[in-house]
Amino acid sequence: MLDDAKTGKINLILCKDLSRFGRNYIEVGRYVDYLFPLYNIRFIALTDNVDTANADSSAMDMMPIMNIFNEWHSANTSKKLRAVHAQGAKVGKYKCTFTAYGYLKGNDEKYTPVPDPQTAPIVRRIFEMYASGMKPIQICNVLNDEHIPTPTDYRAAQLGKPNPFSKVHLWGNTTIKSILNNEIYIGTMANLKTSSISYKNKKRVRKDKSEWVTVKNNHEPIIPQELWDKVREIDSSHPKTHS
């Protein structure tokens, strides 16, 4: 939009209100007070009666205060949402877009994971093969030779859509290692593994494991604790997992 403004393609920007344009009062001020006048752009926020063509209006005088209030409202809403998510995590609510391979999302209010009859046996088999001494690459070869769909291929098939995440359609070491290290398979729900930097910056960053909210015995496990411990024992014997 700014590129169009710089080249003279537009000379008016219209929005419903200031909060729709932005909730960072510094950024909004930079645009309205500096950039828009620089490129001779008229800015109008309808419901707030803001119109830069009428610089002497009371609405223009109040605009900095309205921008600060909009930013406060955004920060307050973010704080409330974080509290809701934290409470959900403490009771083991499964907040995800896609369930972990081997599980289906339950219909209860916590969306409690339920073992998928089609893929849970494959998860158990992966753990058993690894515990028997097979390396991840060998497990991949077995699954690929038997033409077992990868997790993303299986998910796409359930949705009746092509898989947009892979062109290879083969099991890989990363997928196997991810399954072998996921505590969800012993009935443990780990939430809040990531967080945004702030309400202004939505980039997700991974939190230290000590900061996760973990609920044990949250749902039906796919593998027994003994098998999980055996896998951990093998991992500890060679920290850099063989491929």
Sign of CA dihedral 44, 45, 46, 48: negative
pLDDT digit string (tens) for the chain, length 243 residues: 778 877 778 888 888 888 878 777 778 878 888 888 888 888 888 888 888 888 888 877 788 788 777 777 777 776 776 676 667 667 777 777 788 999 999 888 888 899 999 999 999 999 999 999 999 999 999 999 999 999 999 998 888 887 766 677 899 999 999 999 999 999 998 876 666 655 565 676 776 777 777 889 989 999 999 999 999 999 888 755 444
Show the CA angle centred on residue 124, arms to residues 236 and 109, nearest 5°.
105
DSSP state, residue 136: H
Residue type, 137: I
Residues 6 or more apart whose Cβ sits within 8 Å of residue 106: 94, 112, 113, 114, 219
Helix (H) or strand (E) holding 81: helix 58-90
Tokens of 91: 């009771």
Sign of CA dihedral 139, 141, 146, 147: positive
**What CA–CA distance (Å, rounded) separates 198 from 210?**
20
**What per-residue confidence (pLDDT) applies to 199?**
56
Number of Cβ atoms within 10 Å of the Cβ of 63: 23
How many secondary structure helices (H) and strands (E) does the chain include? 10, 9
**What CA–CA distance (Å, rounded) separates 63 from 19?**
11
* pTM more than 0.75: no
Q: Tokens 């998910």 correspond to what residue?
A: 155
